[in-house]
Amino acid sequence: MRRITLSLLAILVLAGLAGCGNDGLVAPGTTGTGPPPPGGNPGGAAFPLQATVQRSRTIGHAPMPVNMWANVIGGVAPYYYRWDVNGDGGWDFGGDGVVEVGVTYASAGLYDILLEVEDSFGQFYQATALVDVKPSGPVAVPVALPAVGNAPLSVTLDGSSSYDNDGYVVLYEWDMESDGVYDHESETDPTYAAEYSQGTHNATLRVTDDDGLESVASVQIIAL
């Protein structure tokens, strides 16, 4: 009876040790729209987990494409990745193997990037980075209709094709002779009617966007 009891105890102890093992895979988490869970956990002493965020660009003008990828150190593969690329507290990308993502920032701003990596032990590590997107400025596109004709030549100077990638144009100004004196300015009307005598002339368009940035370009008019 004593021998049976000892054998049963040995079996129970072995079963208990097996249940305490930590080499089983932990199912990776799933992406969500809520705030990121607490992170920055460097992991256990045996397999510490760390990560950094690498970026193809850190500063530029909108629209600004950026590729970013995770550099994972330690932990136990496979890894699960979660990305918040605009600092709004929600995950934008996530999944097994999503080690790299690409984003185009359309508007100016300082964007916080948060990467969270989870390894197969359930260890988490969060890494952060910044991307500085500057205003792009407007683009002046001057058009003369017609650009060539007999003098006296009546021309409509048109700046309606001008644009701003990260905002809008707030002021149009026309200098019909490119002499430094602007003959027309309007917040809403990009056109100006001008008349030219015989000769070659240059008309200059200046546009200003909602960030206060300017763009200047000219168009040639030939009056025969």
Fold match flag (28-134 vs 138-223): yes
The pLDDT of residue 170: 97
138-223 has which fold? Immunoglobulin-like (2.60.40)
Domain boundaries, the chain: 28-134, 138-223
pTM comes to 0.64
Does the pLDDT value for residue 3 go beyond 80?
no
Region 31-41: mean pLDDT is: 43
- Give all strands of the β-sheet with 191-196 in edge-to-edge order: 143-145, 153-158, 191-196
Region 204-215: mean pLDDT is: 95
28-134 has which fold? Immunoglobulin-like (2.60.40)
Of 36-45, 58-67, 123-132, 170-179, the least confident: 36-45
- pLDDT band at residue 46, thresholds of 50, 70 and 90? low
Q: What values do phi and psi take at 213, rounded to 5?
A: -90, 150
